Amino acid sequence: MRLHRLNIINYKNIEEASLEFSDKINCLIGNNGMGKTNMLDAIYYLSFCKSHTNVVDSQNIKHDSDFFMIRGNYRKNGDEEEIYCGVKRRQKKQFKRGQKEYEKLSDHIGLIPLVMVSPDDSQLISEGSYERRKFMDGVISQYNKTYLQQLLQYNNLLKQRNALLKLERPVDATIFEVLEEQMNTLGQYIFQERTKFITEFIPVFQNFYITISGNNEQTNLEYTSQYQQHGDLLKRMSETRERDLILGFSTQGIHKDDLEMTLGDHQIKKVGSQGQNKTYLIALKFAQFDFLKKTHNCSPILLVDDIFDKLDATRVEAIIKLVTSDLFGQIFITDTNRENLDALLTQLNSNAKIFNVVNGKITSQTHI
């Protein structure tokens, strides 16, 4: 998968940009707040139909403007793809493949495989289980359309059940029974797909961590679910319904699943240094890349935002060797430090492009 041309109008602080990219390394250099991450976010948007940093579409429109537009031209296994997105204030978002508008945005997910490594990934370690489920769901949904559809159905049913639990008037038990049976059926499928994914994912993740850290630390990733304890949650949903009515939310289901992230025998959020946490997160994202590369039979686009911060020289060198290897395809990488990017470019055997970003204006040059 290659993005060879990108056009942006009024996206965040980028008023206008028309850019062509290298098939391998594209480096964005500039001070903080200049718009480097906004350009990566525009590329992310064309894969996921939403911003990585702000899901409220109108808030991504440049101040004092009425709309934004992003258009990307891609090459995938010899085929050309044009993806267009247009958002006007107080109007429905337009998202097109070629000249045809999508009826459902979920139909687009997976067409342009992409992995983003960003400082926001720290939430996978520091925040609650929702962030870690979102990570699993984001990977699986890019290669399994059925999973995405059933996950959306489950979340809709969960909202309905939670709304009923909050009602002050009594609700017919039959309505709960119908909802719970559907949630359980969908939940079993989602649990099975998450289990299959994480079993294959763990050794890939561990190999990347070993490569970056120099094999000095032991890490693990463990999937936990109520389905592992009970096998079938339909009975549990019924038994806990009275308690759920008191609490006002559903306590049983795959929406309570989690990933336990450990360093040695302890949770990494409790014992990991900043460098170890960063290494753990980069290994997760590189494993995600490797997994999607195999399932799509093509290399995803890799977006890397401020990757070298908080890492020692040894880990930086290991990452540079990885991203310049044949394992990865097209990469977009940002940094405020030109020295890191120069070290990366010296190991590259092909052309790269360097983009200077100043106050939303992007200029380019080719690095040989």
Residue 319: alpha-carbon gap to chain centroid: 20
**List of E strands, the chain:** 2-11, 14-20, 25-29, 67-76, 79-88, 94-97, 100-101, 114-117, 219-224, 258-263, 266-267, 301-305, 331-335, 352-358, 361-367
Tell me, rounded to whole angstroms, the distance of Cα 127 from its chain centroid.
16
- Contacts of 219 by beta carbon, 8 Å cutoff, 6+ apart: 205, 206, 209, 261, 262, 263, 268, 280, 283
* Mean pLDDT in residue range 144-152: 94
Distance of alpha carbon 240 from alpha carbon 39, whole angstroms: 47
What is the Cα gyration radius of the chain? 22
Token pair of 357, please? 């970003």
User: Collapsing DSSP states into helix, strand and coil, what is residue 210?
Assistant: helix
Q: Is the pLDDT of residue 309 over 90?
A: no
- In order of their start, the domains of the chain are 1-113+298-368 (3.40.50.300), 127-296 (1.20.1050.90)
Q: Which two tokens stand for residue 192?
A: 């099975």
Q: What are phi and psi of 180, to 5 degrees?
A: -65, -35
User: What's the confidence (pLDDT) of residue 233?
Assistant: 92
Q: Tell me the backbone φ, ψ of residue 354, rounded to 5 degrees.
A: -115, 130
**pTM recorded for the entire structure:** 0.88
Name the one residue in this structure whose structure tokens are 């028309």.
18
The answer to whether the CB of 153 falls within 8 A of the CB of 186 is: yes
Characterize 324-349 residue by residue with b for buried, 16 or more Cβ atoms within 10 angstroms of its Cβ, and e for exposed.
beeebbbbbbbbeeeebbebbbeebe
Q: What is the pLDDT of residues 284-306, one digit of tens each?
A: 999 999 999 998 888 999 999 98
In 167-301, alpha helices (H):
173-213, 226-230, 234-239, 241-247, 268-271, 274-296
pLDDT for residue 345 is more than 90? no
pLDDT at 367: 57
Residue 368 has pLDDT above 60, yes or no: no
What pLDDT digit, counting tens, does each position of 176-201 carry?
Answer: 999 999 999 999 999 999 999 999 99
Cβ burial 298-318 (10 Å sphere, 16+ → b, else e): ebbbbbbbbbbebbeeebbbb
Residue type (1 letter), 309: D
pLDDT of residue 315: 86
Distance CA(49)–CA(57), nearest Å, equals 10
Spatial separation of the C-alpha atoms in residues 227 and 198, rounded to whole Å = 15
| Strand pairing report for 331-335 and 301-305 | parallel
pLDDT of residue 366: 61
Tokens of 37: 């991450």
Provide the percentage of residues in the chain whose pLDDT is more than 70. 96
Summarised one tens digit per residue, pLDDT across range 222-258 is 999 999 988 889 999 999 999 999 999 999 999 999 9
The kind and range of the H/E element at 37 are helix 36-48
* Residues whose CB is less than 8 angstroms from the CB of residue 155 and which lie 6 or more positions away in sequence, other chains included: 255
Q: 50-71, pLDDT tens digit by residue?
A: 999 888 999 999 998 999 999 9
Give 348's pLDDT tier (boundaries 50, 70, 90). Answer: low
